[in-house]
Amino acid sequence: MNHSLGKVLIVDDDEDVLLAARLLLKKHAALIHTEKNPDTIPMLLKNESYDVILLDMNFTKDVTSGREGFHWLNEILTIDPSAVVILITAYGDVSLAVRGIKEGATDFVMKPWQNEKLIATISTAGKLRQSRLALDDMRSLQEQLSADLDQPFSELVGGCAAMQQVFATISKVAATDANVLILGDNGTGKELVARELHRQSERSEEVFISVDMGAISETLFESELFGHTKGAFTGAKEDRPGRFEIADGGTLFLDEIGNLSLPLQAKLLTVIQNRKVTRVGSNKSRDIDIRLICATNMPIHQMVSSREFRQDLLYRINTVEINLPPLHERQDDIPMLVDHFLKIYSQKYRKPQARVNASTLKKLQKYHWPGNIRELQHAIERAIIMSDSQMLQPSDFFFSESEQQEDGLIFDNYNLEEVEKLVIRKAIAKHAGNISQAARELGLTRASLYRRLEKYGL
């Protein structure tokens, strides 16, 4: 049987109307409740969720004004704001029905009704009810997600002094529109810091647009960032806004800004200075209102000295600078980070809450983590997937032989690049991440050491 009309409640003090409606709708509705006394409406709504409610406008206490109908319309919408109410009114009371629509009713039918029209009206109203419920669910989910995201530093985990300084800087800077430059190795959480700045800013309700500058080719740079007009170049089939325009009103995060060539740096500087963009193929400039956050893992101050990065652009993008420490300088934070990722991936893979024993934690704290937090995150995810036990053991974490033996400088092969990588890592660990001291011990300039770090992804 086709129950396309769902659950229907009909409230009318005329028993003939109730009987006629029941006979007409019984083949089409999953459930039909009829009620003469409107005083029972609150109880009915408490016990059942109706797809459509048909409500008479005039009951015997108040035959013509519709006052009682409006009272019960308001009561229904107070109890269930998503309720879909169709008003039943006598011929000639169209003005009452129009007022009812303004006060929240979905539609109205006049007595005596046309059967096919009544069924069509209820069917349409039922679809509206389903849309409202779906929207309510989506809104609830969005509110929950927003609440989760709005927890200060919800994704940033750390208790060490260096991270506390990062948190303090974020709290001071977020509410301003100051341009921020985030410096740190790959995997240290630069984008998380950028998102936290946005979350705590006045623009938190607007968009956050992230752009990986290292992934954009020279030829597509202007089109991607500033947009283009139809026909501006081969393949430009329509007008398209760039990332600056899309981020208007919100936050634009330019990651790996140190990868830009000097000509592209000049174009970027012009837009940041003028706060205007011009689409490729157009002469018309457009105002932009963005909060700019940039990040890089490259030695950008040394790059300015060697003329690889424009000093005037650096001045523009680093009103405030935030330095993220590598994970090997945050040994005390590792237990906290491990616990954080254990919870996330135990839930993700629907496994009992995983834990680590003391020897496993010791192994994780002793390891150098060249890939920083991202490497730790992936290591824990892999261990949870592969382990059959709730208690993760040292054997659940696999590090290469050379990485585990670097304290004793034991080489298991004599490939020069591997040896150089191991010696560099050892020197940096010995000097607790101080690049100047490590470079001095290795007999290198800071710039040379940075180039090797970039080369080996350290």
Tens digits of per-residue pLDDT, 323-368? 999 999 998 999 999 999 999 999 989 999 999 999 999 999 989 9
HEC string of 164-203? HHHHHHHHHHCCCCCCEEEECCCCCCHHHHHHHHHHCCCC
Q: What is the pLDDT of residue 401?
A: 46
23 or 419: which carries more pLDDT confidence? 23
415 or 180: which carries more pLDDT confidence? 180
Burial (CB count <10 Å: 0-12, 13-18, 19+), residue 226: buried
- DSSP 8-class letter at 324: P
Burial (CB count <10 Å: 0-12, 13-18, 19+), residue 29: buried
Q: Which of 113-122, 192-201, 322-331, 423-432 has the lowest mean pLDDT?
A: 423-432
The runs of H, that is alpha helices, within 332-371 are 334-348, 358-366
Q: What is the pLDDT of residue 252?
A: 95
Cis peptide before 112 (omega within 30 of 0): yes
Tell me the average pLDDT across 23-33. 89
Predicted confidence (pLDDT) at residue 149 exceeds the cutoff of 50: no
Q: What is the pLDDT of residue 262?
A: 94
| Per-residue tokens: 318 | 């680093």
Average pLDDT of the residues of the chain: 86
CATH topology of domain 328-456: Helicase, Ruva Protein; domain 3 (1.10.8)
Residue count (the chain): 458
Work out the widest C-alpha separation in the chain, in whole angstroms. 101
Q: Which of 3-17, 206-220, 371-385, 389-403 has the lowest mean pLDDT?
A: 389-403
Type of residue numbered 76 = I
Q: What is the pLDDT of residue 126?
A: 86
CB under 8 Å to 79, separation ≥6 — which residues? Answer: 42, 45, 46
Query: Quick check: do 161-325 and 328-456 share a fold?
Result: no
User: By C-alpha distance, which of 82, 128, 119 is closest to 2?
Assistant: 119
Tell me the average pLDDT across 126-138. 80
- Cα separation of 330 and 155, whole Å? 16
- Cα separation of 360 and 397, whole Å? 8
**Confidence band (pLDDT; 50, 70, 90) for 404?**
very low
**Confidence band (pLDDT; 50, 70, 90) for 251?**
very high
Instruction: Please state the pTM of the whole predicted model.
Output: 0.57
Contact 322, 166 (CB under 8 A): yes
Q: Parse the chain into domains and list their residue ranges.
A: 7-144, 161-325, 328-456
Pairing of the two strands 240-241 and 276-278:
unpaired
Name the superfamily (CATH) of residues 7-144: Response regulator (3.40.50.2300)
CATH topology of domain 161-325: Rossmann fold (3.40.50)
